[in-house]
Amino acid sequence: MERKQKITKYLSRDGRGIEIGPWFNPIVPKRDGYATLIIDVFDEETLRQRAISDPNVPAERVRDIEPVDLLGSSSELEALVERAGLLGQMDFIVSSHNVEHIPDLLKFLQGCAKVLKDGGTLSMAVPDKRGCFDYFRPNSSLADVLEANQQHRSKPSFGQMFEHESLYAKQYLDGKPTSGFSTGVDPMSIFPSGDLKHVYDVWRSRLAQSPDQYFDVHCWVFTPASFERLVSELSFLGLIELELIEVEAGAGEFYVHLRHNSSHSRQAPEVFAKRRIELLRREQDEACVASLRYSVMLGTTQGRVGEEDERLTLLRSELDVLMQERALLKSAVEEYRQSTSWRITAPLRALASRGRRMLAGRHG
């Protein structure tokens, strides 16, 4: 299944929905038959000019930029949709690598529930920290999300800004750095970029000179299990009217599908507690992918498995040869039994057999 299909698997072209900040790479474009409203902080013309001036955007992709229907930040999704008179009328919301940038995540999730019809879906592609520049950053917690909501954050915190810069990871291959890599790469190839003292000095300077300026960073850091746990915790506490449909891991990202359910009943405490500890333990398992020791052990084990596979292949080849020889011998014996000499010597074989039995009886 292709990436786009993984994101849209619970969507229908018959529905009406919103896509958040797709720029030149819309997942549910109008040209494909979707009744989609685009939300972005820039209007269509600005998006086109930014794409034209960006060397990383192929020229032929500029035409894929769609008109912006809701001009503003996804942090204010509910307010934007309310002004358009469309609250509670959307069948789907699609977001790709957007949710991690939103300063107040809880407000966003609550807003999505207000925007969606009952039964409407929120489908998101979310970066997996193990396969991107968040590699060394700790997972975001329920406490982090609650604090951001209590503070009514409209921009990343100073701590998030510093953590983003000081732990920004890159993979080095043949001495060349890249911040784009997949989950499961060699941990020895990943390093934090930049000098810590320089990062600290720049951060201090920003605090002093531009305390109100918006610096775009990843506010939130997740793995599949940590995100699923967060959603289950928020749901259990009655803070969101969204229930989990599915979390699916990918290469450097994962896919989340949530459904708006206004009548969703809270899980029994014992059921929730059991699921929560399962997810907490799964987070520990997920961390092994980025562990140097695990990588070495995995490499050693895979090497042994390879050796045993080769040995098994050799034994199977030898067995095939023996089976062929057995078949040839069996055929030769059967052919001899059908021969004239075998029939002629039958009385002699019978006499010899009786003689052996008589001797055996005397000795017995």
Q: How far apart are CA 276 and CA 230, in angstroms?
A: 9
Task: Quote the pLDDT of residue 184.
Answer: 86
Report CA-CA distances (Å) from 43 to 47, 138, 214. 6, 35, 19
For residue 339, the 8-state DSSP code is S
Nearest CA among 273, 243, 246, 268 for reference residue 257: 246
Report CA-CA distances (Å) from 362 to 17, 349, 352. 99, 20, 16
Residue 114 CB partners (closer than 8 Å, separation 6+)? 78, 81, 82, 87, 88
Task: Quote the pLDDT of residue 293.
Answer: 65
Q: How far apart are CA 6 and CA 243, in angstroms?
A: 18
C-alpha R_g of the chain: 33
- Which CATH architecture fits 3-290? 3-Layer(aba) Sandwich (3.40)
Instruction: Locate the domains of the chain by residue range.
Output: 3-290, 296-363
How confident is the prediction along the chain (364 residues), in pLDDT tens digits per residue? 799 999 999 998 999 999 999 999 999 999 999 999 999 999 999 999 999 999 999 999 999 999 999 999 999 999 999 999 999 999 999 999 999 999 999 999 999 999 999 999 999 999 999 999 999 999 999 999 999 999 999 999 999 999 999 999 999 998 899 888 888 889 999 999 889 999 999 999 999 999 999 999 999 999 999 999 999 999 999 999 999 999 999 989 999 999 999 887 788 999 999 999 999 999 999 998 877 666 556 566 666 777 777 788 888 888 888 888 888 888 777 776 676 666 667 776 676 677 677 776 666 5
Task: Quote the pLDDT of residue 207.
Answer: 94
Bridge partners of 30? none
